[in-house]
Amino acid sequence: MALMEVKSLASGYGEVQILWGVDLNLEKGKLTTLVGSNGVGKTTLLSTVMGLLKPRQGTVTFGDRDVTNMSPHARAKAGMVLVPEGRQLFTTMTVYENLEMGAFSSRARANFKQNLEKVYDLFPRLQERAHQKAGTLSGGEQQMVAVGRGLMAEPEILMLDELSLGLSPLLSLTLFETLVRLKGTGLTMLLVEQNVNMALAVSDYAYVLAQGKIWLEGEARQLMKNDEIRQAYLGVVGH
């Protein structure tokens, strides 16, 4: 069952159209990944789905609601949460205060303590750094805060834009392991990621975006075996 459906979505900035009729479904409880080269429209798609950009055409349905014209705040309140590229933390505030900012809905506020415990269980380092200013953390720790803040909102769908960008292979691995743990809890996720190999390895289903359109889709394991994908994104020459 699809928890979110994107149909014929077209979007862009000013005169420039980036997306041309994108269709994408997020199955409930699954980790779906969206991969593609730089500049093909992955972040544009997330921004449009979250309501930060107005679509030129197409619809976004969340559960049984058409949210196409809903504000980003209303979508977040309904359970759609985006962990943006570049983390966008409140750098002068502590780790704890940043996590607190994630719990903005009445539902999330009511379950604040339990959610905080879950975040600290996933990222023990954040508990150790709870009273440290977010701006003084390493890049990997800041990314943990960004993911933790998203989880504090009690999302029904967690969307993550470029999770491993700028991180060491070891920290990237830690964050991808966290995604696998979250998938085990039944959380529905959409991952936009340049590390195609790692993204396909942890995902259930994948879409490949090229020139603003979905070029290919299928089960992640199957796409890993696809010669075109292997050549274009994994640096493997097919036989």
Residue 76 tokens, joined: 């977040």
Residue-level pLDDT at 73:
92
Residue-level pLDDT at 235:
60
- Domain extent, residue 119, equals 88-155
Residue-level pLDDT at 239:
45
* Domain shared by 96 and 122, yes or no: yes
* Domain shared by 214 and 175, yes or no: yes
Q: Which residues contact 170 (CB under 8 A, 6 or more apart)?
A: none
47-105 pLDDT per residue, tens: 999 999 999 999 999 999 999 999 999 999 999 999 998 778 999 999 999 999 999 88
Residues 159, 81 contacting (CB under 8 angstroms): yes
* Domain shared by 74 and 163, yes or no: yes
Q: What are phi and psi of 35, to 5 degrees?
A: -120, 165
Burial grade of 106 (CB within 10 A; 0-12, 13-18, 19 or more): exposed
Residue-level pLDDT at 94:
98
The CATH number for 50's domain is 3.40.50.300
* Domain shared by 64 and 115, yes or no: no
* Domain shared by 75 and 162, yes or no: yes
What's the number of domains the chain is made of? 2
Which one, of 177, 152, 205, lies nearest residue 30 by Cα? Answer: 205
pLDDT beneath 50: ranges in the chain:
238-239
Measured CA to CA in angstroms, residue 102 lies from 71, 115, 154 at distances of 17, 10, 9
